[in-house]
Amino acid sequence: MREDLERIASDLERLLKLRSLPFGMTLCERREDMEAIPRIRRPKAIHTLDQIVGQTARLGFTVGVTAEDLVGSQCRAVVGLGRAKDAEWISGRQMAGVWYATLEDSRAHQAAMTCVPDGKYEALVVSPLAAGRIDPAIALFYATPGAMMYFINGLQWSGYKRFDWSVVGESSCADSWGRALKTGLPSLSIPCYAERRYGGVLDDEMLMALPPDTLTQAIAGMEALAKNGLRYPFAQYGIQQDARAGMEVSYPKK
């Protein structure tokens, strides 16, 4: 799979007109496995995981982190680093009065997050797909809502499935990389405040996380749609035009 990642990344950028790099994540059971990855960068400061992801998607870095590199238990908990999900984390006390009105609301939010279980992994690596330095457990990319819908159309071209996704609110990385790492399912999220403030996510971007082998299915689907004249970006037809001429291009009379 690793040798195909450069081609897959190029296809995604071409079909979806991406403004940042498609990237992958993998969890390492031992810190030494992370440190052995070619050209790995290690943080020299304390960061949010959103910042680490931003360094990969925006700057092309391959970055490895352990629990000690991350600013707090929320970032660690989503990817299962350290023993973050202790009684204090479960209580939600740190978010009460900041993001949620009551301690009960905050506790309910923590319980709603989809996270990798604690205890198995010591490190996480984030790297551009095209670099080919890791065998990613999940692939991720940022895209506009229109591009994201086109990608989903490609996923649904063959072997149709309905997709249902969650919106946990703040800490929405639990809806994307947390959910995908834990379940292996395609996971779409609306990036949260922290991702935008600390991770450099643009106001019109959404995030998709999914198993890497699913990308080839979506790319094949988008190529099929393109042959039918359905391409991204979507050409505006006009809100006052007679729709029949436009519709007959895609749905010719039999």
Domain ranges (residues) in the chain: 2-233
The single-letter code of the amino acid at 132 is G
Dump pLDDT digits (tens) for 176-212. Answer: 999 999 999 999 999 999 999 999 999 999 999 999 9
Q: Mean of the pLDDT values across residues 240-246?
A: 90
175/206 Cα distance (integer angstroms): 11
- Measured between alpha carbons, how far is residue 11 from residues 37, 83, 123, 185 in Å? 25, 39, 29, 21
Predicted local distance difference test score (pLDDT) of residue 250: 86
pLDDT band at 173 (very low <50, low <70, confident <90, very high): very high
pTM reported for the whole predicted model:
0.95
Predicted local distance difference test score (pLDDT) of residue 1: 63
Whether residue 233 is preceded by a cis peptide bond, meaning omega within 30 degrees of 0, is yes
Predicted local distance difference test score (pLDDT) of residue 251: 86
Dump pLDDT digits (tens) for 8-49. Answer: 999 999 999 999 999 999 999 999 999 999 999 999 999 999
User: In this model, does residue 246 exceed pLDDT 90?
Assistant: no
